[in-house]
Structure 1
Amino acid sequence: MKPNRLSILILSVLFSGQVLADVKYQIDLVKPEHHIAQVSVTFPEVKTTDFKVNLPVWRTGKYQVLPLADGVRLFSAKDNQGHELPWKRTASGEWQVALTQPTSVTVSYQLYANELGQRVRHIDASHAYLDASGVFMYSPQFRSEPVSVQLNVPETWQSYSGMASGTPAHSFIAQNYDVLIDSPIETGVSTHKQFSANGKNYELVFWGDGNYDADKVVKDLTALSGQAKAIWDDYPFDRYVYMVHATSGASGATEHVNSTVIQLPRFSFRERKDYLRFISTASHEFIHTWNVKAYRPAGLVPYDYQHENMTELLWMAEGSTSYFQGQLLLRAGVMTPKEFLEDLAKRVEKNQLNPGRETQSVAEASAGEWSSTGGDYAINHSVNIYSEGYLTSLALDFSLLQDTKLMHSYRDVHRRLYQDHRVPKGYGVSDVQHILKDLSGKDYAPWWQANVNSPMSLDFPALLSQAGLAMSYGKDSKVEAFAGMTLSSAHGSLVLDQVLRNGPAWRAGIVAGDEVLAINGLKVTAVGFDKRIKDFKTGDSIEVTLFSNDKIKQVKLTLGEQQSGKLVLKGDAKATKQQKAFFKAWLGIDWPFDNKGELVSKAND
């Protein structure tokens, strides 16, 4: 039955932002120079005697508990007559308001926002970046209700968000709190660009001065957008906002359901290596719009904002996203084959220098991400869900290509996850294994046990040779002395930051935190430390003088060996048609090497 004009009118009114805005947020930013704002939220009529409001204890995209509530002061609650309501703090991110009769409730509080690097909240005289997880409280009983946000900002500011704009200016509306918390707001003085690609609308917002070229970024993001078809059938959004912060030092990025925020030091955009870092991050966050936002592990569905959300599949959420980011840029012609292979080589080399790969599985690292702190213990006994997840994805991709005679790849796994396990459904290990079996006809449970549930050990030369790639350290490479210890990143420091497990320094009894004073009785400086080690030969014994727990310690260290230079991936001059076909099925570009294995040109899809 077709709807009549009256029913259409009624529906349009019911679904207008003003009618649906049952939970109303307001934030006053008219004096932002001291990083302080005033926030209020009005909830509809509450009929219970105890009313709970929360501020999340973590934000999406960063799987760690954060002290977000520490920025809240001067909390108050009032009824619909403006009378004060009694309240008490019941948890780190929870306030409980007492009611004697049904009433709407307005909660107000002062917010301190000077946490740019965490990408949660930052307010100053030029802008405000507002991620709802660290800004806007919610009530569990109204979490699914529509919301509106009204900003009171300086006159010259402009406001942007992935949410729909409301009325008046500087206001936004969302279907519920889950959309609000995944739709950050950037307001202030900024550079703004709009563009379209593949029938979708995009916005690019740069806050802060820097050496970026916004027009070049638009061109490359347009090319990137079209390559999503290599993995997924459609787009989970109609409009997407790239928010970029050119900062004085903060860096990082966070994905959201309809937008992303990317932070880099302001002069880190022009040099090619810097630009590749930026555009690769943009690709990573763009891919997250599918992988993590549109579909994600069941342990993250729905988000529990007050507790850790446990899953052994974070490596798929993050590491697989890292795995695909360069591939889409390569297909788009934004990254060259040389640049792609250099990035892959760095990842392989880093893996081989990480003792933790022998200890921890990628599944265990995923579950342990919430308590991961990094440092010396981490590199010796842990793996990273991003880097190890990338290589696990590579191994799984190659296995699937081999088992299906190049008919299916790891891209097909993610296409199926998007088709069959979109939020709010979620997916588990058995779902992934079912897809793998359906694509290959093979039971992947043994593979999973050996490479995901157990520490993964890859034969990289044999693995990459399937795609016709050969590993080497170059013609000028040579064997050099190796101590297995690195200094702190602090300028001029001689304190050891890392001592690699089972390396020469480790076996000699040197530990992280020791301060190096001399080698063979001669003073050593931070600047000359690495060169001093290279003065010796593999197998030489040297005497190292240190401060250890404020006491002089002398140890004899027998130097090991390492290859000088950097790992290089080249085409095998004798690559077969099958290897070249594997290469194309893997990356989507033609074989880019000449008959000597040298890259000949920039390949494009």
Structure 2
Amino acid sequence: MKTIKLTAFIFLTLFFMNSTFTDAAAAVKISYEVTFPEAQAHYADIEMKISGLKQNSIDLKMPVWTPGSYLVREFAKNIESFSAEANSKAIPSPKINKNTWHINTAGLSAITVKYRVYCFEISVRTSFVDASHGFLSTTGIFIYPDKMLNNPSTIKIIPYKGWTTVSTSLEAVNGNQFTRFSPNFDILFDSPIEVGNQDVFGFTAAGVKYEVCMVGGGNYDKEKLKVDMAKIAEQETAVFGENPNKHYVFIVHNHQRGGGGLEHLSSTVLGASRDNYSNASGYRNFLGLVAHEHFHLWNVKRLRPIVLGPFDYDNENYTTDLWIAEGFTAYYQNIILRHAQLIDPETYLGAITGEINTIENQPGAKVQPLAEASFDAWIKSYRPNENSANTGISYYDKGAAVGMLLDLEIINDTKGRNSLDDVMKYMYNTYYKEKKRGYTDKEFKQGLEKFAGKNLDAFYKNYIYGLTPLNYNKYLAYAGYNAVDEAATTNDPSLGVITSEINGKRIVTGVVRGSAAWVDGINVNDELTAVDGTPVTDITTILNGKKVGDKISVAVVRDGLPLTLNVTLLRNNRFKYKVGSLPDVTAEQMAVRKKWLGLVE
């Protein structure tokens, strides 16, 4: 009885303490002012005001990573000149760990914090500022009060001279584009901001107003983009049955050479090559990027693995399901273009061919299971080294292939009644809309089984948690296709090295697992100088006249010292698959094909 009473007392004490803190946090008001007094030197200056304080101290934090990009990037490394003041007097603000500043607020109801952020990393996930524009990747710009992630904030932007436009999914305050409101920090950290003189145009699709802001120029055709991007938005909305946004923003950074994208709740940031829009393959690649990142507004931003939200901005957030979150999205980016009639079936099959070859020619596919690749994204995916291809597999590539196999399995087993689309819609409605949470590994598997009408234990054991090679032809055959290795009958010799010409020298940058170079000890960073006494001038001809089994002498320079290695040539075991139609396609296979590829009569 005493234990029960004591437990109740502790519970009530903690409850009231938590309630008091929650009420105090709710009363706190937070605002930011962003200026660019030295934009040409790549700085954004931030003034943060916090009022309504009642606690004796407050910790201010900078996120260490940005959702959607699974790497701890230590954004606090770019902060300098951090200071705090109250009542126009400086107050101590010691840094207590890598991304936290502690401020004693006893007797203070309001404080002002000032700091500068160096912004000079061009990517879709990091901030960049120069005299022409400012891109604010918000996780690396705005510090937040610990335990106040649910607090709203306002952001006032004072543009650099000549800048006239702000593009972001954050709502404008009283119609002022330079003042924005965020309901909480999860939304603020999911809403990048572009400031400058970007070219802005828009379209409406699926009842949603879309804004496209082009930064850096380019040979794009606005009217064509409006039509084609709208088709993508409509087709993807059809998968899930609704588009949860009222306003969605594409921020496109056009560079001489660019690529990549990062998804957000109501926007995305894309990297593109400014002169590739008039090129057929370049334009298709851009539309694929649009389809990929836009599909994420459902898959991962709302329909998500359970650990990906609420976010822990201090640490890694591990999941074994990035093969769904990213891999399925990579699958859909191409099938959506096909269903929207933006690419023909042959182009789509070509994309599949490339995907299969990428997977099968990566030795790491035989080493790292797909679920493990997802889990290890934080330490491997974004930090590849010279041996990564030998030890790992991309959850994008293999996840996309697995998505294709599952789609074909469901279509075939249900005689075209269901597809992977039905799984995605069901999971979205069940977990995002009804349960208002993410899904577990088991729950997503159950969703797949519900529409496949069969147990998928063996599929998961072999392809998700195991290393069984993907049986492409079993599943492609459902639609009357197969994948043929056109290199299967060749017997060409191979050294098994990847090289680059650096300062006029032929340098080994990669060694393929199991190859002749791997077995006989050629190393990354070796300079290839001669083969059988003939100087290496053209890497493509060094094995002319050689055959499998020949023993050759390879001269290298390693760490400045000459070295000769005896190497026995092995067969070039690279695959060269091509996906094509089976000769005699049955009516059942044709029905699957029509459903899968969105073929119209």
Q: Do both proteins adopt the same fold according to a TM-score greater than 0.5, normalized to the shorter chain?
A: yes
Number of aligned residue pairs: 570
| Partners of 1:54 and 1:137 within 8 A in 2 | yes
1:96 aligns with 2:102: yes
Give, as a single letter, the amino acid of the residue that structure 1 aligns with 2:169.
Answer: G
Residue 441 of structure 1, CA deviation = 3.6
Per-residue CA distance 1:485-542 (angstroms, 9 max, x = gap):
11137575522111111122212222322221111110112xx202333543344333
Give the 3-state SS of the residue equivalent to 1:496 in structure 2.
strand
2:89: which partner in 1?
Answer: 83
Distance 1:582 1:558, change over 3 A: farther
| Partners of 1:451 and 1:457 within 8 A in 2 | yes
Distance 1:491 1:282, change over 3 A: farther
2:11: which partner in 1?
Answer: none
1:483 aligns with 2:522: no
- The one of 63, 67, 76 equivalent to 1:69 is 76
Identity of aligned residues (%): 27
Distance 1:493 1:91, change over 3 A: farther
1:44 aligns with 2:51: yes
Per-residue CA distance 1:301-355 (angstroms, 9 max, x = gap):
1111111001111111111100100011111122222221111101101111111
| Partners of 1:236 and 1:294 within 8 A in 2 | no
| Partners of 2:133 and 2:163 within 8 A in 1 | no
1:496: which partner in 2?
Answer: 508
Distance 1:262 1:576, change over 3 A: same
Inter-partner Cα distance in structure 1 for 2:551 and 2:142: 61
Q: Which moved more, 1:126-135 or 1:45-54?
A: 45-54
- The one of 393, 396, 404 equivalent to 2:403 is 393
Q: Which runs of 5+ in 2 are unaligned?
A: 1-25
Inter-partner Cα distance in structure 2 for 1:313 and 1:98: 42
| Partners of 1:487 and 1:493 within 8 A in 2 | no
1:56: which partner in 2?
Answer: 63
| Partners of 2:28 and 2:53 within 8 A in 1 | no
2:171: which partner in 1?
Answer: 164
Per-residue CA distance 1:536-562 (angstroms, 9 max, x = gap):
334433322122344333233333334
Give, as a single letter, the amino acid of the residue that structure 1 aligns with 2:338.
Answer: L
| Partners of 2:409 and 2:452 within 8 A in 1 | no
Q: Which moved more, 1:55-64 or 1:29-38?
A: 29-38
Inter-partner Cα distance in structure 1 for 2:400 and 2:543: 33
Q: Which moved more, 1:194-203 or 1:23-32?
A: 23-32
Inter-partner Cα distance in structure 2 for 1:565 and 1:55: 46
Q: Which residues in structure 2 correspond to 1:267-416 (within 5 Å)?
A: 267-372=275-380, 373-416=383-426
2:595: which partner in 1?
Answer: 585
Give the 3-state SS of the residue equivalent to 1:179 in structure 2.
helix
1:184 aligns with 2:196: no
2:539: which partner in 1?
Answer: 529
| Partners of 2:28 and 2:51 within 8 A in 1 | no
2:128: which partner in 1?
Answer: 122
Inter-partner Cα distance in structure 2 for 1:398 and 1:224: 22
Q: Which residues in structure 2 correspond to 1:210-249 (within 5 Å)?
A: 210-249=218-257
Residue 566 of structure 1, CA deviation = 5.1
Distance 1:20 1:173, change over 3 A: farther
1:151: which partner in 2?
Answer: 157
Residue 475 of structure 1, CA deviation = 11
| Partners of 2:155 and 2:180 within 8 A in 1 | yes
2:111: which partner in 1?
Answer: 105
Residue 224 of structure 1, CA deviation = 0.8
Inter-partner Cα distance in structure 2 for 1:82 and 1:100: 16
Inter-partner Cα distance in structure 2 for 1:37 and 1:201: 30
Per-residue CA distance 1:122-142 (angstroms, 9 max, x = gap):
111111111110111111333
Q: Which residues in structure 2 correspond to 1:541-560 (within 5 Å)?
A: 541-560=551-570
| Partners of 1:538 and 1:559 within 8 A in 2 | yes
Residue 387 of structure 1, CA deviation = 0.9
1:464: which partner in 2?
Answer: 476
Q: Which runs of 5+ in 1 are unaligned?
A: 1-18, 591-604
| Partners of 2:58 and 2:146 within 8 A in 1 | no
Per-residue CA distance 1:411-458 (angstroms, 9 max, x = gap):
222112211111850111111122123223423233212211112411
Give the 3-state SS of the residue equivalent to 1:298 in structure 2.
coil
Distance 1:580 1:267, change over 3 A: same
Give the 3-state SS of the residue equivalent to 1:251 in structure 2.
coil
1:422: which partner in 2?
Answer: 432
| Partners of 2:212 and 2:249 within 8 A in 1 | yes
- The one of 129, 136, 140 equivalent to 2:142 is 136
Give, as a single letter, the amino acid of the residue that structure 2 aligns with 1:297.
Answer: P
Distance 1:58 1:493, change over 3 A: farther
| Partners of 2:65 and 2:75 within 8 A in 1 | yes
Residue 398 of structure 1, CA deviation = 2.8
Inter-partner Cα distance in structure 2 for 1:561 and 1:231: 45
Give the 3-state SS of the residue equivalent to 2:432 in structure 1.
coil
Distance 1:127 1:203, change over 3 A: same
| Partners of 1:484 and 1:500 within 8 A in 2 | yes
Give the 3-state SS of the residue equivalent to 1:23 in structure 2.
strand
Inter-partner Cα distance in structure 2 for 1:435 and 1:500: 39
Give the 3-state SS of the residue equivalent to 2:300 in structure 1.
coil
Per-residue CA distance 1:156-180 (angstroms, 9 max, x = gap):
4211111111243411112111111
Q: Which moved more, 1:394-403 or 1:122-131?
A: 394-403
Give, as a single letter, the amino acid of the residue that structure 1 aligns with 2:120.
Answer: N
Give the 3-state SS of the residue equivalent to 2:469 in structure 1.
coil
Per-residue CA distance 1:551-586 (angstroms, 9 max, x = gap):
333233333334899532222231111111122222
2:4: which partner in 1?
Answer: none
Give, as a single letter, the amino acid of the residue that structure 1 aligns with 2:139.
Answer: S
Q: What is the CA RMSD across the aligned residues, in angstroms?
A: 2.4
Give, as a single letter, the amino acid of the residue that structure 1 aligns with 2:300.
Answer: V
Q: Which moved more, 1:290-299 or 1:81-90?
A: 81-90
| Partners of 1:312 and 1:367 within 8 A in 2 | yes
Distance 1:216 1:30, change over 3 A: farther
Inter-partner Cα distance in structure 2 for 1:54 and 1:91: 10
Q: Which moved more, 1:353-362 or 1:454-463?
A: 454-463
Give, as a single letter, the amino acid of the residue that structure 2 aligns with 1:106.
Answer: T
Distance 1:32 1:490, change over 3 A: same
| Partners of 2:202 and 2:209 within 8 A in 1 | yes
Distance 1:563 1:580, change over 3 A: farther
Inter-partner Cα distance in structure 2 for 1:105 and 1:445: 57
Give the 3-state SS of the residue equivalent to 1:170 in structure 2.
strand
Give, as a single letter, the amino acid of the residue that structure 2 aligns with 1:336.
Answer: D
Q: TM-score, normalised by structure 1?
A: 0.89
1:516 aligns with 2:528: yes
Q: Which moved more, 1:435-444 or 1:138-147?
A: 435-444
Q: TM-score, normalised by structure 2?
A: 0.90
